[in-house]
């Protein structure tokens, strides 16, 4: 039988096949292959006298860490303009990380009850320039939640964004129950006994929602320097115009990305973030390669 791992606890994996969930052990051989089953994995299982065994793991389309989950297809990148105050570098990092993993991205700007949109025109311009979809929310009042609900579809959707922006609130509104602890309590748990956070897939119509909001870790220094450009969707239409094959859109002459920045087709701050990140990736290579 073929199914999806929706939860893993203490060496057991819970595999959903159609409407049923089977408690399974992994076959020993995976350990020698250094292949450990992950939540989100599509697997073949056998069940004999009530005991489930994972026989094989299908190829993953991606692997996220913290939360550890495979085959995610969509990310809701959640943040606020105030409380906590917007941090563009952090948002850009989230967007890069999600892009690198080929996730469909929806930018979710929450707590719109606390601000006037017109005070944040620069940020909104920058975000619109990325080409990603943007949804404005008042999660606490439920505003905008339905438009996100329609985007879930048959995706495996993960929430990401800084702490305190309302990810858990949003998730609870979507699922219609209090699966996630919000606010102060979750902060305490997060740093206390629940430090090893295992994720779980929650059924939602034809898809799943990953119930552990986070990437809590935002290292993007593993991205190869010549792949960073593909994490900026607004660069795409200009990428073939550069004079040199292998142009990193950095110090090379005849660069059509830099040209597009000068002509205001690409947001300057986004490009500057690209360069800053590229320099970090280049320096890392000099140090460690």
Ligand X SMILES: Nc1nc2c(ncn2[C@@H]2O[C@H](COP(=O)(O)OP(=O)(O)O)[C@@H](O)[C@H]2O)c(=O)[nH]1
Of 113-172, binders to Mg ion (CB under 5 A) are 168
Q: Kindly tell me which of 109 and 228 has the beta carbon lying closer to ligand X.
A: 109
139 binds, among ligand X, Zn ion, Mg ion, none (CB under 5 to 8 A by kind): ligand X
242 binds, among ligand X, Zn ion, Mg ion, none (CB under 5 to 8 A by kind): Zn ion
User: How remote is the C-alpha of 17 from its chain's centroid?
Assistant: 25
Q: If binding is defined by CB under 5 A, does position 71 make contact with Mg ion? A: no
Nearest by Cα to 148 from 189, 50, 264, 139: 139
Q: What is the Cα–Cα distance from 23 to 221, expressed in whole angstroms?
A: 37
Q: If binding is defined by CB under 5 A, does position 255 make contact with Zn ion? A: yes
Q: What is the Cα–Cα distance from 70 to 63, expressed in whole angstroms?
A: 4
Site for ligand X, rule CB under 6 A? 110-111, 113-114, 138-140, 163-169, 182-183, 186, 213
DSSP-assigned beta bridge partners for residue 17: 20
Q: What is the Cα–Cα distance from 39 to 210, expressed in whole angstroms?
A: 9
166 binds, among Zn ion, Mg ion, ligand X, none (CB under 5 to 8 A by kind): ligand X
Report how far apart the first and last C-alpha atoms of the chain are (Å, whole number).
44
37 binds, among Zn ion, ligand X, Mg ion, none (CB under 5 to 8 A by kind): none
Identify the residue among 56, 68, 147, 186 touching Mg ion (CB under 5 A). 186
Identify the residue among 81, 158, 202, 257 touching Zn ion (CB under 5 A). 257
- Residue 53 three-state SS: strand
Q: If binding is defined by CB under 5 A, does position 74 make contact with Mg ion? A: no
**Least Cβ distance, residue 111 to ligand X (angstroms):** 4
- Residue 63 three-state SS: strand
Q: Which two tokens stand for residue 184?
A: 């102060």
Q: If binding is defined by CB under 5 A, does position 216 make contact with Mg ion? A: no
Cis before 67? omega within 30:
yes
Polymer length in residues for the chain: 289
| Residues engaged in binding Mg ion (CB under 5 A) | 168, 186
| Residues engaged in binding Zn ion (CB under 5 A) | 242, 247, 249, 255, 257
């Amino acid at each position: 039988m073929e199914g999806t791992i929706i939860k893993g606890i203490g060496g057991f994996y819970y595999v959903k096949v159609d409407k049923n969930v089977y408690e399974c052990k992994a076959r020993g051989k995976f350990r020698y292959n250094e292949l450990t089953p992950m939540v989100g994995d599509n697997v073949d299982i056998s069940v004999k006298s009530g005991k489930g065994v994972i026989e094989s793991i299908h190829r993953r389309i991606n692997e996220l860490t913290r939360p550890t989950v495979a085959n995610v297809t969509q990310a809701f990148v959640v943040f606020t303009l105030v409380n906590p105050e917007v941090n563009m570098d952090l948002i850009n990092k989230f967007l890069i990380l999600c892009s690198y993993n080929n996730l469909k991205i929806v930018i979710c700007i929450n707590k719109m009850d606390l601000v006037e949109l017109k005070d944040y025109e620069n940020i909104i311009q920058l975000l619109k320039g990325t080409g990603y979809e943007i949804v404005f929310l008042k999660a606490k009042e439920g505003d905008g939640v339905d438009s996100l609900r329609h985007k879930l579809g048959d995706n495996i959707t993960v929430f990401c964004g800084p702490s305190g922006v309302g990810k858990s609130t949003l998730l609870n509104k979507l699922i219609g129950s209090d699966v996630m602890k919000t606010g102060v309590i979750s902060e305490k748990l997060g740093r206390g006994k629940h430090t090893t956070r295992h994720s779980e897939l929650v059924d939602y119509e034809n898809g799943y929602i990953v119930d552990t909001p986070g990437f809590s870790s935002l290292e993007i220094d593993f991205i190869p320097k010549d792949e960073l450009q593909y994490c900026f969707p607004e660069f795409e239409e200009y990428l073939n115009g550069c004079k040199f094959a292998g142009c990193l859109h950095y110090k090379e002459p005849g660069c059509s990305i830099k040209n597009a920045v000068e002509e205001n087709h690409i947001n300057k701050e986004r490009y500057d973030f690209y360069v800053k990140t590229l320099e970090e990736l280049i320096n890392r290579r000099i140090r460690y390669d």
